[in-house]
Amino acid sequence: MALNCKHVWKQISDYIDGTVSPELREEIEIHLAGCRHCSAVLDSTRNILVLVADDRTFNLPVGYSERLHKKLEQAMKE
Ligand SMILES: [Zn+2]
């Protein structure tokens, strides 16, 4: 089964953290290779995580994932 964009977005922080299964990782990579929208999402998520890491804290701000998901869902509707 091919992943759709919403599935990828739900998994994207786990994907960056490397906590997804190898099978899922491969599926996500296949999707990202063919979907410009999701690779843009991956890039911006990575940038946010780099900023957070620079602050020497690995905890995302409270509500971060929730806000990200809301933003993504809104982008999906447009
Ligand atoms: Zn996509």
Ligand 1 centre and the CA of 56: distance in Å? 31
Ligand 1: distance of its center to the CA of 43 in Å?
Answer: 13
User: Residue 13: is its pLDDT beyond 60?
Assistant: yes
Report the pLDDT averaged over residues 2-21. 90
3-state class (DSSP) for residue 74: helix
| Predicted local distance difference test score (pLDDT) of residue 67 | 75
CB atoms within 10 A of CB 52: 15
pTM: 0.62
Is the Cβ–Cβ distance between 38 and 27 less than 8 Å?
Answer: no
Distance 5 CA to ligand 1 centre (A): 4
Tens-place pLDDT, residues 19-77: 999 999 999 999 999 999 999 999 888 887 776 666 555 555 566 677 777 877 887 77
